Amino acid sequence: MRTGKTALYEDLKHQILTLERAPDEDLDEVGLGESYGISRTPVRDVLRQLAGEGYVLIRENRGARVIPMNHATMRDFFSVAPVIYEAVARLAVRNFRPQQLQELKSCQARFRAALGSRDHVAMVVENTLFHAVIGDMSASTFLSPSYSKLLIDHARIGHTFFRPKTAEMEEELRQSCDQHDQMIEAIARQDEEGMVQLIYQHWGICRSNMEMFIAPRELPSTTLQKSSLR
């Protein structure tokens, strides 16, 4: 059975990843404590832990807020994500432990089950956890903080990927799931170049869907249609 403190920690992470808690949203310590039946001290402990993991921003005398997601952070995200993902993938192949590979397989089994049941929240959570395990495999003190931050924004920017609205998006989601299995196989056989190739293919699918979320297709305009006919 989860304690109130554990429940708050887990729930806030899920809510931030799935945008149930909006970027830059205030986190009321008193309200959270009342909701979970705990005092302000364990609430603050949880918020500090989440701040250390990149989910929350704590500003002196201004309380805690969900980490923001603005134009500057998104530009930075798209610039650096491929490079960091490649570096982490290479190190994961070199440094993984057998126990971590089993953990990765368990994450993938849960992700595929969530895909089958169309549980978009579980897909977001398990997909993030799958890639977090790859980060753990890399055993990189220097890359880990940046990689963890990338995964949070990746989940938030790309959350619509797990709610496909077209047959093409459905196929891309299935393809992405299959790539997880291929990554597990590449790590198991210590195929570094194969793993990197898969990471870039995976990133390509995700990026196209994230760009659609940031700049959705424009609504049809009868005015524009009439203008084009003149």
Question: Cα separation of 166 and 157, whole Å?
Answer: 19
**103 contacts 133 by C-beta, under 8 angstroms:** yes
E runs forming strands in the chain: 26-27, 56-59, 63-66
What residues are paired with 205 via a beta bridge?
none
What is the residue-wise DSSP string for 86-98? Answer: HHHHHHHHHH--H
Question: If you count them, how many residues does the chain have?
Answer: 230
Could you give all domains of the chain from N- to C-terminal order, each with its CATH number? 4-66 (1.10.10.10), 71-214 (1.20.120.530)
Q: Look up the pTM and report it.
A: 0.84
DSSP state of 64: E
pLDDT tens for each residue of the chain, 230 residues long:
778 999 999 999 999 999 999 999 999 999 999 999 999 999 999 999 999 999 999 988 788 999 998 888 888 888 999 999 999 999 999 999 999 999 999 999 999 999 999 999 899 999 999 999 999 999 999 999 999 999 999 998 887 788 887 888 889 999 999 999 999 999 999 999 999 999 999 999 988 777 766 655 666 666 555 555 55
Largest CA-CA distance found in the chain, in angstroms, rounded = 69
What amino acid is encoded at 92 in this protein? A
